[in-house]
Structure 1
């Protein structure tokens, strides 16, 4: 029998160093398990499970990653903290107290600032991505900001306010909310088209996705989807929008026409998603199925359902 040790060591080295040409990893925070599943997007298998040595609480929620994939930023709501985690070593690089009921986190386009949506506090925290120092606490005009999204130019943060059915627009230079944009009802996940001022926002109670002209600060239209729209992801080329619906499907929208072109059945309560940089694979976290569905975006087929931890919140792909 051959010795498996050299292969295992090579795999570990590949993970730790991010060798050029290696497929990226998809990271899935599991709310109830206090863990993060690591999926190799080449094989679509879970290759590791991160727990930060058991330090993560039982409400592991939003996650983002730096451009190199060397740091994960995780909202550990159970312990009321934001954790910077080194995935290669499964160790905490730093952490900062963020208070109760925080939900979303997003890293700015320049990689310098984190925006944390503190839903129960009705504010956005701006956190230095290197030092994890909180630079500002910005009160929103709406209620219960759940998701934070940076505009592509990095000058603004948009929050989806579940409790007031609107979006806050936060000017980062002024460090203040400059106003709100009304939505169709119960906004959840949101995504800008790449290099664009067009924003798509899932509307859970309206069973659709709002098309927002961010430059004009106005909702242009609501596109009907399946029931309980919750998550939104844009294709890297800006040609399609994907909407995860709590009723168990992903709606595919053609951006040029804003027409629904496909409805894809996935697991139970799909939520937040991520797409590979080449746009060929979409990874969908199925919260009530404890799985991630992999969708081939060329054929619209679900090619695999990957078992992960309990109550997966979403997916981020890095680098």
Structure 2
């Protein structure tokens, strides 16, 4: 049976014909859990460094790029072989990882050196580094057009903005204390930033770099996920074990959904029908039906899941 499951998994990845998979880095167990979003079951556990945190997956679904926070490197995982096939040295304490929409660039936020390292996926090598003003950067998120990277510095109250063509920081936008998760409207016109200590979401106009709205979320707002239609923004609230559903037009919270303990980073399926929420203290991923705004199930994964990426 194990051999059969392995064969099915390998064939699905190689042929890119399976339903999307959710990949969950577990910083406490050093693994990447693989969830089939059709069945909401874990179908594989892949070794991914000593303390995996941020993750991105290539456009063709064949490779994952995972930051190893204590190993100070980016681990490159072959998803068909279920094993690491490469490593890129990043610097001390890498955290969040973002990928450009065209799949060429991986950006990794490096905490101790206050910089973002850009890796070229064509060569799997470091290409350039940008120093940021904020301290302890946690996330590095590409705008949909790949022109900008927004960087949240958790030991501060601002978001640093990098122009990828100039390879330099071009702006800094003050937000609430301890900014964390970042998401973009599908057209790239707005960025949404969760400020954990403020328990708020700040809305930034990406053309003017001005704050155009702020919304009170739950206690210790953290992760951000934007629905593909742009009408809803999801906010994980680590302090009260909930996800807030925000109306992007009205800038109001329309629903609050209970999930597992210490919800962290999240991801939506491409069709927007399901939201997967990493719940660190529960060792699980909560799955939400976005149409009904209800939790469907909790999926046991590894220890201390940090986030989710779906491809």
Instruction: Check whether the contact 1:151–1:197 (CA below 8 A) recurs between aligned residues.
Output: no
SS at match of 1:17: helix
1:98 aligns with one of 90, 113, 116: 90
Instruction: Check whether the contact 1:16–1:89 (CA below 8 A) recurs between aligned residues.
Output: no
- Residue in 1 aligned with 2:8? 11
TM-score, normalization by structure 2: 0.96
Separation (CA, whole Å) in 2 of partners of 1:316 and 1:221: 27
2:243 aligns with one of 250, 254, 261: 250
SS at match of 1:78: coil
Superposition pairs of residues 43-192 of structure 1, within 5 angstroms: 43-51=39-47, 56-57=49-50, 59-192=51-184
Separation (CA, whole Å) in 2 of partners of 1:251 and 1:157: 25
Whether 1:225 aligns to 2:221 is: no
Spell out, residue by residue over 1:232-291, the C-alpha distance to the aligned partner (whole angstroms, 9 max, x if none).
Answer: 000011110000010200000111211111000001100000000110000000000000
Spell out, residue by residue over 1:204-247, the C-alpha distance to the aligned partner (whole angstroms, 9 max, x if none).
Answer: 01111111111111112210011000100000111100000102
Separation (CA, whole Å) in 1 of partners of 2:64 and 2:251: 34
Separation (CA, whole Å) in 2 of partners of 1:243 and 1:170: 24
Q: 1:294 to 1:224 in 2, by over 3 A?
A: same
Superposition pairs of residues 186-201 of structure 1, within 5 angstroms: 186-201=178-193
Q: Which has the larger radius of gyration?
A: 1
TM-score, normalization by structure 1: 0.94
Spell out, residue by residue over 1:19-54, the C-alpha distance to the aligned partner (whole angstroms, 9 max, x if none).
Answer: 53x2111000000100011101000000111115xx
Separation (CA, whole Å) in 1 of partners of 2:167 and 2:121: 17
Give the drift of 1:129: 1.2
Give the drift of 1:91: 2.1
Q: 1:135 to 1:31 in 2, by over 3 A?
A: same
Give the drift of 1:143: 1.6
Q: 1:87 to 1:221 in 2, by over 3 A?
A: same
- Residue in 2 aligned with 1:289? 282
SS at match of 1:8: helix
Spell out, residue by residue over 1:37-93, the C-alpha distance to the aligned partner (whole angstroms, 9 max, x if none).
Answer: 1101000000111115xxx21x11000101111000000112111011111101223
Could you tell me which runs of 5 or more consecutive residues in structure 2 were left unpaired when the two chains were aligned. none
Give the drift of 1:18: 3.7
- Residue in 2 aligned with 1:211? 203
Instruction: Check whether the contact 1:194–1:237 (CA below 8 A) recurs between aligned residues.
Output: yes
Separation (CA, whole Å) in 2 of partners of 1:192 and 1:219: 14
1:259 aligns with one of 252, 259, 277: 252
Separation (CA, whole Å) in 1 of partners of 2:98 and 2:90: 14
Instruction: Check whether the contact 2:214–2:251 (CA below 8 A) recurs between aligned residues.
Output: no
SS at match of 1:288: helix
Q: 1:10 to 1:142 in 2, by over 3 A?
A: closer
RMSD: 1.4
- Residue in 2 aligned with 1:303? 296
Instruction: Check whether the contact 1:101–1:119 (CA below 8 A) recurs between aligned residues.
Output: yes
